Amino acid sequence: MKMPEPDATVLARRREIARALNAIVPGEGVIADRDELAVYESDGLTAYRQRPMVAVLPETVEQVSRILAYCNAEGIKVVPRGAGTSLSGGALPLADGVLLCMARFNRILDIDFANRCVVAQPGVTNLGITKAVESEGFYYAPDPSSQIACTIGGNVAENSGGVHCLKYGLTTNNLLGLEMVLIDGTVVRLGGRHLDAGGYDLLGLMTGSEGLLGVITEVTVRILQAPETARALLLGFPTNEAGGNCVAAIIGAGIIPGGMEMMDRAAIHAAEDFVQAGYPLDVESLLIVELDGPEAEVDDLIARISAIAANCGAVTSRASESEEERLKFWAGRKAAFPAVGRISPDYYCMDGTIPRHRLPEVLKRMAEMSARYGLRVANVFHAGDGNLHPLILYDANNPGELENAEAFGAEILRLCVEVGGVLTGEHGVGVEKRDLMGTMFSEADLAQQQRVKCAFDPDSLLNPGKMFPVLHRCAELGRMHISRGQIPFPDLPRF
Amino acid sequence: MTGIFRPENAAQVVEAVAWAAAEEEPLEVLGRASKRAFGRPVQAGHGLELSGLAGITLYEAEELVLSARAGTPIAEIEAALAEKNQELAFEPPDLGPLLGGEAGAGSIGGVLACNLAGPRRIKAGAARDHFLGVSAVSGRGEAFKSGGRVVKNVTGYDLCKLMAGSYGTLAAMTDVTVKVLPAAEKTRTVLLLGLDDGKALAAMTRALGSAHEVSGAAHLPAALAADSEVSYVREAGGAVTALRVEGTGPSVEYRCAALRRELAELGESEELHDRNSAVFWQEVRDVRPFVTRPERLVWRVSVPPQAGPAVAGALAQGQDALAYYDWGGGLLWLALPPSKDGGHVGLRAALSDCGGHATLVRGPETLRAAVPVFQPQDPAMAALTRRVKDGFDPRRVLNPGRMVAGL
Ligand SMILES: Cc1cc2nc3c(=O)[nH]c(=O)nc-3n(C[C@H](O)[C@H](O)[C@H](O)COP(=O)(O)OP(=O)(O)OC[C@H]3O[C@@H](n4cnc5c(N)ncnc54)[C@H](O)[C@@H]3O)c2cc1C
Ligand SMILES: Cc1cc2nc3c(=O)[nH]c(=O)nc-3n(C[C@H](O)[C@H](O)[C@H](O)COP(=O)(O)OP(=O)(O)OC[C@H]3O[C@@H](n4cnc5c(N)ncnc54)[C@H](O)[C@@H]3O)c2cc1C
């Protein structure tokens, strides 16, 4: 993976830059010691490592504004970082860049039950928001598996999802307002406690922009009252086709469950060995369907889905009869990543999305690739929305095996695009999928995206080297190639 | 306007916009022209009407996805969805009659470009939340696409969000893909009768803060309730506060009963069944109470829900204002008598403390040219907005001035 060439003149000014930052954030707020910087050298995508030139941990919006204005004036690159759990290298530092850590922005600023929202600093964890409101029965719906660690600012930057997003939406659907600082230090506010901000939807644009457009300093999210009850169904199928058909049949019957997760044989066995969730070991495909709402609704839907599953050839069908049992059904799915981590020295988590009905075909071709690359793969999916997480098992100590796993992963993602899907459902492009963007987008598509970047960050100082395979200069992108000529299609009716 | 281009495919849209950019000849972008009277009047020599780009190109009900050419009538899409018991969950309003035109005349592109949403906004989101993919032609005369046909997608910037609510000022959309959802099996609406605005807000807040998944929360004062086609509302003899629950039979019955029980201390309640509910919420959605008062200016005001009555109260002082609430108090539909400034100064002043935005949805062309139709932005946001526009339409050929003068 090639990152932008470090700027030698900036590197030579390292001490001076650290001093200037220290004047903005005094004391321990600036880290320039090589050893101390080691903790920041990678995010959740540990295959890539790079120590930043210097890290700064501001505490106030004013400090963030001054840091960015300084870096902008001096032409210094900036990489924002939340908790560093990104799985796409979004928070990977740059050798000649300032790492802007938002960890000290960790306070909830307001809990507004009447308007059903919470205002938080970006470094508050995802789960921290739910914890702050659960005494009144509320929760924050998007629930990435990393929710104890990842920050709400990182969630906005990645538009993170979770198992309940099928019914309750992703981060973007639960966000009401933002405060952010542009690279020139300007502070802008988008939205608030009302709906649909007015003007261009920059709130929607910021969500999933991977730290390339601005630094988020405050987040307002919508909260919901927790459902009265929840029950889960554990359904086992003899083939992936049957499991896939069951998902389609449930949705075809007009039911949108709270969550609908699928695991393949390899994932089922790994999870069962690890946490003994009681999963059947003689099935090819396992589906966990969660229903939430009033008891009358949940019981009714459990009965309906059980009937659908039987029709689709389910060989295992169990409904949770207690909260304990429901959590046990989930335990295996939630532990799927570490479970796979136990059976292999390393694993590489992919994140493509496909139109759901292509699932059997995609799994079949993935199995062929697995044989060809000589690497095992275990699959967990957000089945309701077709978001796949193939986990490629490899051993980084074997020379060439990481590169082999990456090539396998890239081939899976190209397959996702080929069948009508996309490169990433929730983990982001980052550095990881940057060079694959061309499989989904044309030059013109990418140029238009970069013109949006130019509107926010004309010198490309915010998180460069992420998302875009080639960085074009804004002046070049802005140029118009004009060919004056005939009035278009004169023979068509114009009046 | 001296002429209207009616392209029949995306290549012809590219041709028309490229010509406009080369000649610096502004174009007024029209879907099916049903919402032409919404927004600032556009000064353009030519029109670009996209009604020739029509037809559903993909509909997979079990995948919850539909793609269509941008000029496809929304009515055609809703009919296709209804056949499979599905719908656009954001409940797009039909503003045609409010704006003095026909009902059922809008296009899917127009609905998305205006980011419209009905009463279910509070639960299901707005048009933006269902907008998965787009192909469009920028004001540079270049075709580009963003998004895809799947719900979970974070590949690149979400330009669909930018298209939604840009009123045709960034790009002319040629093809769109939206998420569709199953329609509810059953609907019930709990009606609370005779509450004043403050009590109504408290009732809606309790309902929306409950686990009952309320999908509509509106409040109509007596004068407007009396105009409803639904007898239970019309004959209520006072203000009506309405709370909608949708879903499967047993669930809806349970939640409807629970709401009536939990709100019993507020007095009498009634309930509307499916058909009456459908009629009532369509009235709320399409701003029916003000369709029959065509002389009035109509404002759409989005505020934090708790601020709704205070904002309405401040505006009502000393003038003959009519208002009703949707979105649990967060959406205020306001009808004012005609005036020189359209009431925008007082309205925007009333929002300065609580935050929010006000849009003049209906008013004479001269007024829409003279006062800010959309909420004015602070200098930093205005500058950013200008730079975003520059990135798509540097020569200002697409709907110039539609949202902001000079943009
Ligand atoms: C075990 C595990 C499980 C996971 N499960 C899920 C899952 O279920 N669903 C899911 O969607 N993701 C999941 N993730 C991925 C990851 O947790 C999310 O992407 C998360 O939102 C990242 O948050 P963070 O605070 O760690 O951000 P970081 O990793 O620090 O940063 C992520 C990106 O956001 C930017 N950023 C961070 N903070 C700001 C800010 N304040 N302003 C501007 N930009 C900022 C960074 O520059 C970077 O590009 C998982 C990760 C792990 C390790
Ligand atoms: C005793 C009675 C009370 C009513 N109360 C209300 C009310 O509070 N609010 C309201 O909006 N409408 C009420 N209606 C009118 C009626 O429900 C609607 O006008 C309409 O005819 C039913 O259409 P729907 O799609 O709304 O029915 P749904 O809500 O789908 O049907 C509700 C249930 O009531 C049954 N049902 C509906 N109408 C009748 C009927 N005329 N006779 C016997 N059973 C019937 C249906 O078979 C169904 O089981 C009432 C009707 C009757 C007979």
Tell me if the pTM is above 0.90.
yes
Identity at A349, one-letter amino acid code: C
Alpha carbons A350 and B238: distance in angstroms, whole number: 59
| Phi and psi at residue A163, to the nearest 5° | -65, -20
Q: At what angle do helices A61-74 and A14-24 cross, to 10 degrees?
A: 150
Per-residue pLDDT band at A491 (split at 50, 70, 90): low
Return the residue whose CA atom lies nearest to atom 36 of ligand 2: B273
Instruction: Specify whether the CB–CB gap between B30 and B49 falls below 8 A.
Output: yes
Residues of chain A neighbouring B344 (CB-CB closer than 8 A):
none
Average pLDDT over residues A52-67: 98
Of B153, B327, B391, the CB nearest to A455: B391
Residue A93, token pair as written in the block: 């530092």
Task: Give, in order, the Cα–Cα distances in Å from B31 to each of B188, B222, B273.
Answer: 35, 37, 35
Q: How far apart are CA B231 and CA A400, in angstroms?
A: 75
In three-state secondary structure terms, B48 is strand
DSSP secondary structure letter of residue A2: P
Strands A229-237 and A285-293: antiparallel
Specify the amino acid at residue A350.
Answer: M
**Closest listed residue to residue B33, CA positions, set B51, B46, B13:** B51
The phi and psi torsions of B44 (rounded to 5 degrees) equal -145, 140
Task: Report whether A179 contacts A227 (CB < 8 A).
Answer: no
- CA distances (Å), A41 to each of A404, B79, B179, B213, in order? 23, 55, 39, 44
Expressed in angstroms and rounded, the spacing between residue B263 Cα and the centre of ligand 2 is 23
Element (DSSP H or E) covering residue B5: strand B3-5
Q: How far apart are CA B82 and CA A371, in angstroms?
A: 46
Question: What is d(CA B377, CA B386) in angstroms, rounded to the nearest whole number?
Answer: 11
Q: What does pLDDT average to over chain A?
A: 95
- Per-residue pLDDT, A144: 94
Gyration radius (Cα) of chain B, Å: 21
Euclidean distance between CA atoms A278 and A280, whole angstroms: 6
Among A222, A204, A83, A479, residue whose Cα is nearest residue B129: A204
Helix (H) or strand (E) holding A220: strand A215-222
Residue A233, classed as helix, strand or coil, is strand
A226 vs B313, more confident: A226
- A277-303: average pLDDT: 97
Gap between the Cα atoms of A111 and A31, Å rounded: 33
Residue B203 φ/ψ, nearest 5 degrees? -65, -45
Pairing of strands A229-237, A187-191: unpaired
B155 with A433: Cβ contact below 8 A: yes
Q: Which of B317, B319, B307, B384 is nearest to B352 (CA)?
A: B307
Name residue, tokens 């509910």: B277
DSSP for A362-382 reads HHHHHHHHHHHHT--EEEEEE
Please compute the mean of the pLDDT values over residues A24-28 and round it to a whole number. 95
Given a cut of 80, whether residue A238 has pLDDT beyond it is: yes
Return d(Cα B161, Cα B131) in angstroms, integer: 7
Residue A430 has pLDDT above 80, yes or no: yes
Q: Any idea what the Cα angle at residue A422 is, between residues A418 and A426, rounded to 5°?
A: 155
Which tokens in the block code for residue B402?
């539609």
Q: How far is Cα A209 from Cα B152, in angstroms, rounded to an integer?
A: 15
pLDDT at A2: 82
* B123 part of contact set with chain A, CB < 8 Å: no
Is the CB of A331 inside 8 Å of chain B's CB atoms?
no
Residues of B252-270 as b/e, b for ≥16 C-beta within 10 angstroms? bbbbbebbbeebeebeebb
> pLDDT at position A489, please?
64
In this prediction, residue A492 carries a pLDDT of 55
Closest CA relative to residue B50, chosen from B27, B18, B19, B81: B27
> Which ligand is nearest the CA of A217, by number?
1
A340, B135 Cβ separation under 8 angstroms: no
β-strand pairing of B171-179 with B186-193: unpaired
Chain B residues whose CB is inside 8 A of the A420 CB are 148-150
Residue with the smallest CA separation from ligand 2 atom 50 is B273
End-to-end CA distance of chain A: 55
The confidence band for A495, taking pLDDT boundaries of 50, 70 and 90, is very low
For A196, the 3-state DSSP assignment is: coil
Ranges of residues in chain B whose predicted pLDDT is under 50:
none
b/e code A82-108 from CB counts within 10 Å (16+ = b)? bbbbbbbbbbbbbbbbbbbbbbebeeb
Which residue in B330, B344, B341, B337 sits closest to B376, CA to CA?
Answer: B344
Pair A123, A139: CB distance under 8 Å: no
Query: Which residues surround ligand 1 with Cβ inside 6 Å?
Result: A 43-44, 79-87, 90-91, 102, 122, 144-146, 150-151, 153-155, 157-158, 160-162, 210-211, 215-216, 337, 426-427, 463
Kindly state whether A61 is in contact with chain B, defined as any CB-CB distance less than 8 angstroms: no
Tell whether B187 is within 8 A of chain A (Cβ): no
- The tens digit of pLDDT for each residue in A192-214 reads 999 998 899 999 999 999 999 99
User: Is B271 a pocket residue for ligand 2 (Cβ < 6 Å)?
Assistant: yes
Q: Name the amino acid, one letter, at B252.
A: V
Q: B275 in ligand 2 pocket by Cβ < 6 Å?
A: yes
Q: Give me the pLDDT at residue A1, please.
A: 74
Residue B55 burial (CB < 10 Å; 0-12/13-18/19+)?
Answer: exposed
| Chain-chain contact of A254 with B395 (C-beta, under 8 angstroms) | no
Q: Which spans in A212-264 are helix H?
A: 240-252
- Answer whether B22 sits within 8 Å of A353, measured CB to CB: no
The residue count for chain B: 407
Helix A359-373 × helix A401-418 angle, to 10°: 160
For residue A337, the ligand closest to its alpha carbon is 1
Cα of B189 to ligand 2 centre, how many Å?
Answer: 13
Task: Decide: B276 in ligand 2 pocket, CB within 6 A.
Answer: yes
Rounded CA-CA distance B190/B242 in Å is: 6
Instruction: Give yes or no for residue A486 having a pLDDT over 80.
Output: no
- Strand runs labelled E in B194-321: 214-220, 240-247, 269-272, 297-302
Whether residues A449 and B159 touch (CB distance < 8 A) is answered with yes
Note the pLDDT tens digit of each residue in A368-411. Answer: 999 999 999 999 999 999 999 999 999 999 999 999 999 999 99
User: Is B62 close to A248, i.e. CB distance below 8 A?
Assistant: yes
Q: Please name the residues in contact with A218: beta carbons below 8 A apart, sequence gap of 6 or more.
A: A61, A109, A119, A120, A121, A122, A177, A178, A179
CB proximity list for A211: less than 8 A, separation 6 or greater? A79, A80, A90, A91, A157, A462, A463, A466
Closest by Cβ to A296, choosing from B5, B63, B250 = B250
Ligand at shortest distance from the CA of A151: 1
pLDDT of A298 above 60: yes
**Sign of the dihedral defined by the CA atoms of residues B392, B395, B401, B407, in that order:** positive
pLDDT tens digits, residue range A251-264?
Answer: 999 999 999 999 99
Q: How far apart are CA B93 and CA B286, in angstroms?
A: 5
Closest Cα to atom 35, ligand 1: which residue?
Answer: A211
Q: Are A241 and A358 in contact (CB under 8 A)?
A: no
A371–B contact, CB cutoff 8 A: no
Task: Say how far apart CA A362 and CA B61 lie, in whole Å.
Answer: 21
B193/chain A closest Cα distance in angstroms = 22
> Is the CB of B4 inside 8 Å of chain A's CB atoms?
yes
